[in-house]
Amino acid sequence: MLMKYDFEPKSAKTEPSQAPAQPSSDLEKSLERLDQAYPDLDAIVLTSKDPFMSEYVPVDNNPRYGATRFTGSVGDCIYWTKKFRKFNPNLKPVSLFVDGRYHLQADQETDLNLVEVVKLDVEPNIEGSVIDRLSGFNGIKVGLDFERTSIATLIKYRTRASEKKNTLVSIEGEKILTVLSLPGWKIDRPIFSVPESATGRSTKGLLRTLTLDMHARRYPANAGTLYLTCATDDAAFLLNARGFHLPHTASFLAYTFFVDQELIVFLPASSKNAPMQIDEGNMGEFKLTVIRDDIPALKAALKEYSVDQIFFDGSRMNGLLPSIVMEVFPNATVDDQYQWLLRTRAQKTPAEMNSIRTSFLRSSRAIAKTLRYGKSESQKQSFSEIDLANYLYQCYADEGAVALSFKTISGAGPHSAIVHYSNPQATSYFEKGMIALLDSGAYYSEGFCTDCTRGFFVGGGNSGVKPEAWQKDIYTATLKSAIEVFIHPVDAKLTGKEVDALIRGKVKAAGYDYMHGTGHGIGIHVHEEGIRLSTLSIYPQSPYACVSVEPGIYLQGKGGVRVENVALLIPEGSSHYRYENVAFVGYDWDLIDLDKLTNEEKVYLKAYEAKCRELGTELVSCPLEAQA
């Protein structure tokens, strides 16, 4: 059984990664301390990552937050030191780079006198944009925390720095946290096994397959191999375990080394006191070794083996960890493009798919109940964003949820147009005539997360308040886009980029677009690599993958809509995938223009709403039921 983790129905105001407001004077003092600590640098890059390349990094451990007060999960910044700004007076102290999901949030959370918000287009390469900005200067000295930067990104930094005759200096993350008055992150929650029945996987089975795959790629044929990863979901996957060591994340903080028949789990200072409650019956012939914050002991354990070839994924590996291994095995060759684990995890087993279906059914019930309550109560009394979020948390708890899978988005009116509006307010009310947006997810005992977005109209029914034409227009266009891949099987040859274009096309046909990807993988984490539907996706579609489908339309200052369903990709023959919807939450028919639906769309939606009614997850009555 999973343990309850930071899941209190009335804790919306104090979610673990939500930051308290701080005055600009405190930020100025923090930035001044950077100058004092690094007097010889011209610029300092501060990322939103931790040494595990995590997405949801608590603000206590987030250097970028310390220099900007921006709480979004993605975005990096450059601090331009005071001595450098003397010769570049047009520069603000900080340049913060954010993508389309966070434009409005960054403006609201930062002091624009101190922070330049660099608003990038749809799904940009943020690291590349930071590198481009630095490359606008020649001969400067730049500080960067290599441990919070992936190897793939670090290579790009080094290449461009060499071209521009800039100097790249590694700065220590713990020192940065101290300078910015951030306490860091320590955790002692247990690391525990999940039942094999929930995943259909065992550690021994995974390690056997990993061994065979590395051996097939090794050269020479008898080369000794080692696999390493710093990614927390990799460790959770290989051990078939969970830990909930970070907010909104089911995995645990560990570095993982697999050599010969030994799996070494290294718990660094942040998690060294976490109890290990692992079912070693799942290990088979493999040995499990746990080393707690002891680098010499790790090196000694590795020296027991002869390693000729080292495998890891450079896009998900921090820039310092491999140096430890290379010190022990200086003559080993490196394959830093190794993605067996990523590909394997993306293809869900039948047991994992059933766990995902079960989890989404629970969440669908909680969300539908919350939407019905919010739509009703907001017409009768003052009902705030935080009221809706708290009611949802209680509904999740009633369904057996153990944690949230990300910060809940509960937005009223104009706030619904902020793509990642994740700080619901007690003083922001749902008023008649508004569009509202609810985006949330949770974890259950199976150890997989859920994610679903729905909107509703505050009015309709017998209220006498009807939606405006623009509200119905954006909701209907988004809905048509969101159901596109569920109506017809999708050509298996299409890439994630091409599926994104297929779905996005319905929104574009209505004269709109959205500044985020259409879909992301879902599994142990809410954003799982291995499949992605986006304008920048490098992944193909993958059999039995779990992916979100979430187009949207956002009109700044007015309101926004996002409709998010989640699909399992089920092969149909060898040429197509059937997108099986696992999120069953009814739509708000007050906002749907029936005249803009095709006959095929009506048939699909009628069947979908009938399923929601059967499950008790409809929002309002579907008018298509009355049609022949």
DSSP reduced 3-state for 77: strand
Banded pLDDT at 572 (limits 50, 70, 90): very high
Average pLDDT over residues 273-285: 94
Distance CA 617, CA 310 (A): 50
Report whether pLDDT(62) > 50.
yes
Supply 584's token pair: 């069953």
The tokens for 254 are 């560990």
- Is residue 11 scored above 60 in pLDDT? no
pLDDT at residue 464, as a whole number: 84
Q: What is the pLDDT of residue 2?
A: 34
Contacts of 238 (CB under 8 A, 6+ apart): 203, 206, 207, 210, 256, 258, 263, 341
Pick the CATH number of 347-621 from 3.30.450.20, 3.60.9.10, 3.40.640.10, 3.90.230.10: 3.90.230.10
Helix H or strand E segment including 548: strand 546-549
- Tell me the CA distances in angstroms from 574 to 120, 422, 490, one per residue in order: 39, 41, 11
How close are the terminal C-alpha atoms of the chain, in Å? 48
Phi and psi at residue 571, to the nearest 5°: -60, 135
What is the tens place of the pLDDT at every residue in 319-346? 999 999 999 999 999 999 999 999 999 9
Under 8 Å between Cβ of 98 and 117: yes
pLDDT tens digits, 454-504? 999 998 877 889 999 999 999 999 999 999 999 999 999 999 999 999 999
Mean pLDDT for the stretch of residues 6-12: 38
Q: What is the pLDDT of residue 103?
A: 87
DSSP 3-state of 34: helix
Backbone phi, psi, residue 285, to 5°: -80, 0
pLDDT above 70: percentage of residues in the chain: 96
Judging by DSSP bridges, how do beta strands 565-572 and 552-555 pair with one another?
A: unpaired
Tokens of 524: 């142990």
The proportion of the chain whose per-residue pLDDT surpasses 90, expressed as a percent, equals 88
Give the pair of three-digit tokens for residue 72.
Answer: 């979004």
Question: b/e map of 473-500 (b: 16 or more CB within 10 Å)?
Answer: bbbbbbbbbbbbbbeebbebebebbebb
Average pLDDT over residues 294-299: 98
DSSP type of residue 249: B
- Tell me the average pLDDT across 231-249: 96
Q: What is the DSSP string of 45-59?
A: EE-S--TT--SS--G
Q: Lowest-confidence range among 11-25, 277-291, 552-566?
A: 11-25
Q: What is the pLDDT of residue 625?
A: 81
DSSP helix, strand, coil percent of the chain (3-state; round to 5): 35, 20, 40
CA neighbor of 5 nearest in space, from 398, 445, 388, 369: 445
- pLDDT for residue 7: 43
pLDDT value at 515 more than 50: yes
Angle, CA 246 vertex, CA 547 and CA 386 arms, to 5°: 80
Torsional sign, CA 83, 88, 92, 94:
negative
Task: Identify the H or E element spanning 131.
Answer: helix 126-134
Give just the sign of the alpha carbon dihedral 353, 358, 359, 364: positive
Domain boundaries, the chain: 12-179, 191-345, 347-621
Beta-bridge partners for 530: none
**Sign of the C-alpha dihedral, residues 427, 431, 436, 439?**
positive
**Residues forming a β-bridge with 14:** none
- Over range 241-248, report the average pLDDT: 95
pLDDT in tens, 412-422: 999 999 998 88
The CATH fold assigned to 191-345 is Creatine Amidinohydrolase; Chain A, domain 1 (3.40.350)
Whether residue 566 has pLDDT greater than 70: yes
Edge-to-edge strand ranges of the sheet holding 333-335:
287-292, 262-267, 255-259, 225-229, 309-311, 333-335
Please tell me the distance from the alpha carbon of residue 149 to that of residue 169, in angstroms, as a whole number. Answer: 13
Give yes or no for residue 13 having a pLDDT over 50: no
Bridge partners, 508 (sequence order): none
Long-range contacts of 182-185 (CB under 8 A, 24+ apart): 182/59, 182/60, 182/61, 182/62, 182/63, 182/65, 182/66, 183/60, 184/60, 184/61, 184/270, 185/50, 185/57, 185/58, 185/60, 185/61, 185/246, 185/270
Task: Please name every residue paired with 540 in a beta bridge, in sequence order, or none if there are none.
Answer: 495
Q: Residue 112's CB: how many other CB atoms inside 10 A?
A: 11
For residue 596, is pLDDT > 90?
Answer: yes
* Helices marked H in 164-263: 173-179, 196-199, 203-217, 232-239
Distance between CA atoms of 364 and 586, rounded to whole angstroms? 9
pLDDT of residue 23: 55
pLDDT at residue 104 in the model: 83
Domain 12-179 matching CATH 2.40.100.10: the answer reads no
The strand pairing partners of 559, in sequence order, are: 555
Common-topology check for domains 191-345 and 347-621 = no
**Residue 113: what pLDDT?**
95
Residues 6+ apart with CB under 8 A from 254: 191, 232, 235, 265, 266, 267, 268, 271
pLDDT of residue 24: 63
Q: Give the model confidence (pLDDT) of 169-208 as tens digits.
A: 999 999 999 999 999 999 999 999 999 999 999 999 999 9
DSSP-assigned letter for residue 194:
P
Residue 411 tokens read as 């937005």
Write the single-letter amino acid at 202.
Answer: S
Angle formed at CA 440 by CA 246 and CA 97, multiple of 5 degrees = 65
pLDDT tens sequence across 88-106: 999 999 999 998 888 888 9
**Residue 97: CB partners within 8 Å, gap ≥ 6?**
75, 76, 77, 118, 120, 126, 129, 130, 133
**What's the mean pLDDT in 277-298?**
95
Average pLDDT, the chain: 93
For 620, the token pair is 């309002």
- What is the distance between the alpha carbons of residues 251 and 444, in angstroms, rounded to a whole number? 13
Lowest mean pLDDT among 10-14, 161-165, 382-386, 426-430: 10-14
Looking at residue 17, what is its pLDDT?
Answer: 39
For residue 521, the surrounding DSSP H or E stretch is strand 519-521
Q: What is the pLDDT of residue 540?
A: 96
Q: pLDDT band at residue 429, thresholds of 50, 70 and 90?
A: very high
Tell me the pLDDT band of 22, cut-offs 50, 70 and 90: low
Cβ burial of 138 (10 Å; 0-12, 13-18, 19+) is exposed
- The phi and psi torsions of 339 (rounded to 5 degrees) equal -130, 30
Provide the residue count of the chain.
628
